[in-house]
Structure 1
Amino acid sequence: MSELIDLSYEIYQGMPIYPGDREVELINNKKIMRDGYCNHNLKMGMHTGTHLDLPAHMLEDVRNAADISLNNLSGQTKLIYAAGQKIIKVKPDYQKLIEKNDIVIIYTGFAEEYGNQKYYRQHPVISEELADLLIAKEVKLLGFDMPSPDYSPFKIHQKLFENDIFILENLCNLEKLLGLESFKLFVFPLKVRAEAAPCRVAAEI
């Protein structure tokens, strides 16, 4: 029997944010003992926690998260092991491993630093060579357990977006997938009219 592994971070008041983003506010403004029911209000940026980046994040693209079919965000997924690599480069077996329309997930182990400034300031980066391979293979989605594939001026972001590859940032629990080369991934972003969206992400194993 298959099992779903949750790869998404919880959303909560004061959770880690990318430097410069707004703080998360999750306010319990109605309480059962006082008001007869419970209610929360949430204020957060779209690039907080586990989230999907779309080309409109950095390009003139009219599509927003509400436009994207869930069929484009789920499917066969290949896991790349890249722990200890500051620059994630191509390995010979990637040519055979990665197929057209795959989702590619990169395990770096850097989720261990989530909540520390190091997570945002010293995370690994994806090489242009690897980005070029993903483009040549026509993958539809790239995800990883770090906050970004690059640093300013965000050339890898732009290169992937220009080739219609979506980016899934801040995944967790990828260590539970180690040893699997292939599995099915399900990505459910908020149906929000924005260039990005917080997501619930699960792997079926």
Structure 2
Amino acid sequence: MKYDLTTQVDVGLMEQWLSTKENRHLATGHVGTHLDTYEKSDIPLDYIICQGILWDVSNIADNREISLSDIENLYIPENAFLLVRTGRSEQEKYGTVDYFREHPQLSNELIQWLSNQPLCFLGIDCAGIRRGKEHESADRMLEKNGIFVIENLSNLNQLLNTDVFQVYTLWFDDPVATGLRCKVVVDIVS
């Protein structure tokens, strides 16, 4: 069974936001489901297919930062795609003020630890792994270690009772943009 984790974007909301941006081209890359590539690293083609791991933190994500102590007993296989379910995309519609306001975030200590794990992608169902001025620096640290952050995923609740699945990720290269729109699809292995 296949599930599309790509967020559907309301064109009207997107146009409204883009009209406030100085560079529409650069801003468009950060709309909806996208991966951040601030360092402009080459993403290996092997990253197209990864073993997926779902980490459900929806029970704590609205109350506090997600910390390293929350990740106990999580096995991360080589070249994995870690999907972090905060529940934000299920609670708030993408593009609304409430979706972006005070969205869940990972602690700096957890991000540092994840930067040394055998990951290809770290995906999350909200606007980023850190907020505000810390957003870009957290993404850069992971990217320097070959891990790319994919933001604004949806439908992660579809994977709650799934142990083994493959994640297929396709992105659109752009030599200038720091955000690359992408498509993320899960195939549950039976």
TM-score, scaled relative to structure 1: 0.75
Partner Cα distance (1:172, 1:46) in 2: 17
- 1:78 aligned partner: 53
SS at match of 1:123: coil
Aligned-partner SS, 2:141: helix
User: Aligned-pair distance for 1:197?
Assistant: 1.4
User: Does 2:110 correspond to 1:130?
Assistant: yes
Matched, 1:197 2:172: no
Q: Which amino acid aligns with 1:158?
A: R
SS in 2 for 1:14: helix
The reply to whether residue 98 of structure 1 matches residue 98 of structure 2 is no
Query: In structure 1, the residue corresponding to 2:13 is in which secondary structure?
Result: coil
The one-letter amino acid of 2:179's match is A
Q: Name the SS of the counterpart of 2:103 in structure 1.
A: coil
Partner of 1:136, secondary structure, is coil
Secondary structure of 1:141 counterpart: strand
Hey, what does 1:107 align to over in structure 2? 85
Shift of 1:127: 1.1
Letter in structure 1 aligned against 2:122: L
SS in 1 for 2:7: coil
- The size of the alignment, in residue pairs, is 174
Aligned pair in 2 of structure 1 residues 99, 130: CA closer, same or farther (>3 Å)?
Answer: farther
- Report the residue type matching 1:73 in the other structure: I
CA contact (8 A) 1:14 1:23 kept: no
**SS across alignment from 2:18:** coil
Deviations 1:8-42 (A, max 9, x none): 1224421358xx95149xxxxxxxxxxxxxxxxx9
User: Does structure 1 residue 187 correspond to structure 2 residue 187?
Assistant: no
What letter matches 1:197 in structure 2? L
CA offsets, 1:107-131, max 9 Å, x none? 0100021232121121011112221
Unaligned stretches of 5+ residues in structure 1: 25-41
Runs of 4+ more than 6 Å apart: none
What SS class does the counterpart of residue 133 from structure 2 fall into? coil
Tell whether the 8 Å contact from 1:126 to 1:156 is kept in structure 2 after alignment: no
In angstroms, what is the RMSD of aligned CA positions? 2.5
SS of residue matched to 1:88: coil
Higher alpha-carbon deviation: 105-114 or 42-51: 42-51
Distance 1:15 1:138 in 2: 36
Question: What percent of counterpart residues are identical?
Answer: 28
Residue number among 13, 16, 40 corresponding to 1:15 in the alignment:
13
Normalised by the length of structure 2, the TM-score is: 0.80
Q: Which amino acid aligns with 1:187?
A: T
